[in-house]
Chain A
């Protein structure tokens, strides 16, 4: 299986924003089959099923995740042999449904050196009135429990997904998101798969650009909704995640982490 690994700058972008977009990477041939497959439903699985058992060779889902760009991105983030936590088909009827409250999936998750990745696949173009997924960039490291964030309707710099057919998004498990009301005349389809890593998530991508300044630029990004002071903590926490993902305990961004740990002559 050929893969296209992510660059360090792309992985840094994921660490900063909490998601990665692969626009239009799924060929029309698969997109055209997707509607029938999603309408028919994809059988539920026991949690934590290996991919080979979850999606046997030749099945739609297997072909989707083995597309070189998708496989490369998944390998770069969760490594080889992830298990399938669960999957779900989300269909939004025309002029139907209510916006979901802003939420993070599952329950509060305090892991600082590991993360799950959620794949979201859109087989059809998503236009502005179709209620594409609301995503809050850079929200994934905030510790919240599911829909406790439901009070927040709009945050500055949020993204309301519009995308071409065949788009795949890969999201950190902690990202704040929600399905929006479909105000169009068209059904909206989305297929989601959550992957659990089975190996340490360390240097799994193409690291040839690890020292490129673009990596630090990505990791230093601030998002418009960040409060002035808490935004600094976001950078600090991102630095800790990058340390874990690169096995480099000296990595830092703007000296935030180093400064507050400098205690000369103190061992504990």
Chain B
């Protein structure tokens, strides 16, 4: 059994929100995803990935901004890790 990983970045913290970013890592070696390899997201929403058989195994926590840094922007906030085993 080898793991395929899909990471989706969503527009809000809700799993049914729109996908705004995505990454794939393929433990089977059948594909070699990389930076900038596609302009179309694999799914419209996080829930669409569930419906296609991806299993959610991690979601980013909701962490309040640090005092004094409320307006800073940095990494994408709403990150969801999915897997498929094959």
Contacts and interface: CB of A to CB of B under 8 A. Distances in A.
Given A99-B37, A180-B35, A155 B20 contact: yes
The number of chain B residues touching the other chain, given as a range, is 20 to 34
Interface string A178-191: 10110000000000
Contacts of A226: 20
Given A99-B36, A102-B35, A134-B35, A156 B77 contact: no
Contacts, number: 91
B15 to A, nearest CB: 14
B74 interface: yes
Given A143-B73, A151-B7, A99 B21 contact: no
A230 B73 contact: yes
Interface in A209-245: 224-230, 233-234, 236-237
Nearest to A240: B71
Interface residues of A, number: 35
Contacts of A237: 71, 73
Contact of A153 (B12, B23, B78): B23
Interface in B22-73: 22-24, 33-39, 41, 71-73
Given A152-B23, A153-B24, A180 B75 contact: no
Nearest to B75: A144
Contacts of B85: none
Nearest to B69: A143
Contacts of A233: 71-73
Nearest to A142: B73
Given A134-B36, A178-B36, A154 B23 contact: yes
B77 A153 contact: no
A108 to B, nearest CB: 9
Contacts of A101: 35
Given A227-B20, A233-B71, A236-B71, A153 B37 contact: yes
Nearest to B79: A151
A149 B74 CA distance: 9
B35 to A, nearest CB: 4
Contacts of A75: none
Contact of B36 (A151, A180, A229, A236): A180
A180 B38 CA distance: 11
A268 to B, nearest CB: 15
A226 B76 CA distance: 8
Contacts of A134: 35-36
Nearest to A227: B11
A149 B73 contact: no
B19 A181 contact: no
A201 B77 CA distance: 31
A237 to B, nearest CB: 6
